[in-house]
Structure formats: structure tokens, C-alpha cells
Amino acid sequence: MTTTRTQVAIVGAGPSGLLLGQLLHKAGIDAVIVERVSGEYVLGRIRAGILEQVCIDLMDEAGVGQRMHQEGLVHGGIEMLYGGQRHRVDLNKYSGGKNVMVYGQTELTRDLMDARQSVGLKTVYEVSNTAVHDFDSAKPYVTYEKDGQQHRIDCDFIAGCDGFHGVCRASAPRGAIREYEKVYPFGWLGLLSDTPPVNDELIYVNSPRGFALCSQRSKTRSRYYLQVPLTDKVEEWTDDAFWQELKLRLDEEGRDKLVTGPSLEKSIAPLRSFVTEPMRFGRMFLAGDAGHIVPPTGAKGLNLAATDVKYLFDAIVEFYKDKSEAGIDDYSRKCLGRIWRAERFSWWFTQLMHRFSHDEKITAKFQNAELDYLMHSEAGLTTIAENYVGLPLDFGR
């Protein structure tokens, strides 16, 4: 077995692990990242594309924001389509001047990978049998296998950035962990295409046929979603069937402007609300999907992961530079306060926009009445805008 020594062992080379690693490097703190799959597989995962300001700021702090600012699309509003009519939510106006940016998670991940590789920082891909050890002590370590060889990383801290199915949360003592979960009775069928977006801003659709979302990755690449039953299989959906169903859920303007084309990728994602409490177990910390999952309706998953990374990075820097464990001790509380607010918004927005099989007729009436209130109320528009762009980091303190 080969043994190496680092200050922080990061399990998982998704955006949260890579962002944490880059921030630590900028602060002069050593970190090694291990990842179960290949770098190409990581980049092949199609995920979120809406960045809040906290995520944008962290990319800048990590020194990898140049391409994001060149190619990202700043959005100051979203459109809500219900009852056959569109209504615009002016995010900038009702959130005190804030916007969001459209920049695909794949591109963000690529920027972080390239930066890490350019300075020769260690990321080990395609490892197996990863395990975390002694994280309840001052000398935790990580073991893994690579090319038939056993490896060990001695460290001061373990960052569990390895996702919902990762080893870190699964290794926490069952008596010390609480998990909260809600599984929704539908999924999102997503299609990516090299076609111009149907609209300059995102359109969230509440339709009698089910929810739809018209999103984008650039001015020439679009991402569309349809609410579908969990029993549906992606192979059952041809491109033509997808486009036809999307048209049925759009308004006349949307149908007229929609440009269709062959799909680059199609997939069905289930929807889930999930939170782990606490987020810290001794010297091991959960971040991103390892600790929480949100329905994609509110565009919070990547942004919550970025907030976790910020709190963890600040705590680790404080530990090494100020010899203080205050940030470490407070990590879980700070994360969970923000997580539950975002979980609430994502749950509420999902309930508001989707069709549910139980009590469908009366629920649809409730939804339309609430949407009508929200779109014609300063308080309602402010509620959507403030939550959508992301509540301040110091909210509620």
C-alpha cells in the first residue's frame, strides 16, 4: 500500500469537490481529490445551468471565472406561463438589483478541471473501493484502489463531495445521522439540442398536461423539460414525440417561435427532496449532493453546493491560519439554515407548477388562484424573486 499525506482529502470530483480544491489551492492549503468515475464521465453529466451570485463570486475567488463571464448569459427575469398566458417576474426589480447567470454546470466543471490540471494538482480518477476511516479522531484517512494497487491518504480533514450515492454519508454512524426525504410521483424528461432558445428568458409552464420548462445553455443551445410519469422510459420518447408534447404545453407564441432539432441528450430524472442532519461528523464534512438533494424546479442544487463549499473553505482556512475551530464547529448549523430555506422554496415551487394525480381538479384550481395572486402582488413577486436569485448569506441571522 502506498501512503501519501495531505491536509484535506476530497472525495468526489464533481463541481463541489473541484471548487473546494481550487479555493484551497489559492489559499495555500494542500488537497487531493479522488473520484470513482473518469473525468470524461463527469463532464458528460448534464446538470444545472442557473448560477446565483454566491456561486459566481466563488468562481471568481477561485480564479476560474473568466470564461463564465465571457459566455454566461445574465438573466434579470423569468416568465411564468399558466392559464394560457405569460407573466414576467422581474428578478432584478423585486430582489433589490440581483440577477442570475445561465452557465452550464458542465462548463463550470470543465473550467475547474482545466485550472487544476494546469498547475499539476492531484486528482485521481477511476478509483474503486474508496473508504473513509477514523474521521472521529484527529487523524482521519482515506483508502482506495487504483489499477489493482491499494492507496492511503492521511489527512487532517475529509470533504465528502461524492454525491447522493457516495461513501461518505453512508459511512456516518447510523445513530448520529437523521435523514429527511420526500420522493415526488413524477420525473423530468430533459432534452438538449443545438437550437436557439424559444425565449430570451426561462419559461416555467403550468399546463393541464403537466409542467414544462424552456431553458437554455447558450444562445444556440437549448434545454427543455417535460413532467412525465415515473413509469416512462426515455427510450419510449422519440425526439418528434418530445417536441410535439412541448408544443401542446406552450402558448401560441411559444409554438410559433420554437425551433426543433435532433437531441444531443435525453434523460429522465426523478424528483426528490432530501436533507441529512448534521453535515459534520468529526473531521468529515458533507457538501453538495452528499448532504442534500432538491427538486430542480427552483435551480438550487448547484448553488447550495457552492454555499456548502464556501462555509467549509472558510472554516478550514480559519483552522489553519487562526488556529480556531469555531468555523468547523458551526459548519453544519450554517449550512442547514440555508439548505432548509432552499428546500422549502424548491418544494413550494414544485407543488405550485406540477400536476398531481390526487385531487387533480381542485389542486389545479388552487394553483391557478395562487399564481394569479403571486403575479399581481408586489409581495408575491418579491417572494419569488428573492428566493429564485438566492437569499443573502446572512439571512435570518
Q: Which residues are catalytic?
A: 75, 204, 296, 300, 388
246, with CB counted inside 10 A (0-12, 13-18, 19+), is buried
- Name the DSSP class of 296: G
Q: Within 10 A of 329 (CB to CB), how many other CB atoms are there? A: 11
Count Cβ neighbours within 10 Å for each residue of 260-298 and write b for 16 or more, e otherwise.
Answer: beebeebebeebebbbbbbbbbbbbbbbbbbbbbbbbbb
Q: Report the alpha-carbon distance of residue 261 to residue 154 in Å, rounded.
A: 51
Q: Which amino acid is at 25?
A: H
* Pairing mode of beta strands 212-216, 222-229: antiparallel
CA proximity to 23, closest of 337, 307, 390, 334: 307
Could you tell me which residues come within 8 angstroms of residue 298 by beta carbon, excluding any fewer than 6 positions away? 342, 345, 346, 349, 350, 387, 388
Listing DSSP states for 297-358 in one string gives GGS-HHHHHHHHHHHHHHHHHHHHHH---HHHHHHHHHHHHHHHHHHHHHHHHHHHHS--ST
Is the N-terminal amide bond of 278 cis, ω within 30° of 0? Answer: yes
**Quick one: cell of 257?**
417561435
